[in-house]
Structure 1
Amino acid sequence: MYRMMAVALTPGPQIAAIVMGFFMSFWNLFSGFLVPRTLIPIWWRWYYWGSPIAWTIYGLFASQMGDVETLVEIPGEKSKPVNQFLKDYLGFEEDFVIPVVFAHVGWVLLFFFLFAYGIKYLDFQRR
């Protein structure tokens, strides 16, 4: 939906690709995959919560690994269960999956309505 929205709001696919590349690079950087949310400086953490990719990664990890009790060995520390590691190091909690679902629905609706607005009201054709 994001790509459809970007194409609908820009004059052509080339500019849409530039806009998508700009936002996707920042969303990937602040998604919590390369740098965990707990290690992102507090003044940049707002961008983590504003990234659709971060919500996706949070939902995947929390729903798939949030109830795993298998011990994981951490160099220099005592072994701990996977779900405790996710909570301590990455900040992922299994109880937060329902808000993640609502956030995904919200992102989809936002991108859909902006796409519909762009298709209906913006006309980039030259006459």
Structure 2
Amino acid sequence: MYGMMVTALTPDYQIADIVSSFFSNFWNLFSGFLIPRPLIPIWWRWYYWASPVAWTIYGIFASQVGDITSEAEITGRSPRPVNEFIKDELGLDHDFLVPVVFSHVGWVFLFFIMFAYGIKFIKFQRRNQELINEQRTPAPGSKDLHFPTNIPNPL
């Protein structure tokens, strides 16, 4: 849905690709995969919660290993249960899965609404087509189309 939304809100797919890669890089950086949430500086932690990638990683880790109570042996530390380790070290709690599900539904809903708005109200193609049609008017007194060369290309 994110790709469809960005494509609908930008004039062409090249700009959509640039915008998409910009946000994807920041979402990946602050998703908690490279830097766990407890280690992200407090002034950047808001961006962790504003990242759909962070919610996805949180949901995957918390749902898959958040309820495992078997002991994990970590080099240089005493053995402790896996669920305690991911809660203390990574900040992932298995009991937080319901808000994770609602956040995923919220992100999909937001991206869908923005996509529908872009498709309905933002008309890049119509504007570009009007500029092209203005250039293709025949010259006065000529039988065929004359394309003036002094008009800049709108694309």
User: 2 CA distance for matches of 1:47 and 1:75?
Assistant: 32
Aligned-residue identity in percent: 66
How do residues 70-109 of structure 1 correspond to structure 2 at under 5 angstroms?
70-109=70-109
Higher helix share: 1
The answer to which of 47-56 and 61-70 deviates more is: 61-70
1:26-68: CA deviations, max 9, x gaps?
0000000000001000000000000000000001111111111
The letter of the residue matching 1:119 is I
Q: What is the CA distance between 1:75 and its match in structure 2?
A: 2.1
Measure, in 1, the Cα distance between the counterparts of 2:16 and 2:70.
44
Q: What do residues 48-101 of structure 1 show as CA deviations (whole Å, max 9, x unaligned)?
A: 000000000001111111111122122221111110111000000011000000
Structure ID, larger Rg: 2
Q: Given the two structures, how large is their TM-score scaled by the length of structure 2?
A: 0.81
Structure 2 CA distance for aligned equivalents of residues 3 and 80 of structure 1? 41
Residue number in structure 2 paired with 1:27: 27
The one-letter code matched in structure 1 to 2:100 is: V
Q: Aligned letter for 1:61?
A: F
Partners in 1 of 2:73 and 2:14 — Cα distance? 47
Q: Which of structure 1's runs of 4+ aligned residues deviate more than 3 A?
A: none
- Corresponding residue of 1:42: 42
Superposition RMSD in Å: 0.6
- Which stretches in structure 1 are left out of the alignment for 5+ residues? none
Gapped regions of structure 2 (runs ≥ 5): 131-155
Q: What is the one-letter code of the residue matched to 1:3?
A: G
* Count of matched residue pairs: 127
2:48 maps to a residue whose letter is Y
CA distance in structure 2 between the aligned counterparts of 1:60 and 1:112, rounded to whole angstroms: 23
In 1: Cα distance, 2:35 partner to 2:5 partner: 28
Distance in 1 (alpha carbons) for counterparts of 2:85 and 2:42: 21
1:111 aligns with 2:124: no
| Matching residue of 1:61 | 61
Distance 1:17 1:124 in 2: 16
Q: Supply the AA of the counterpart residue of 1:64.
A: Q
Corresponding residue SS for 1:68: coil
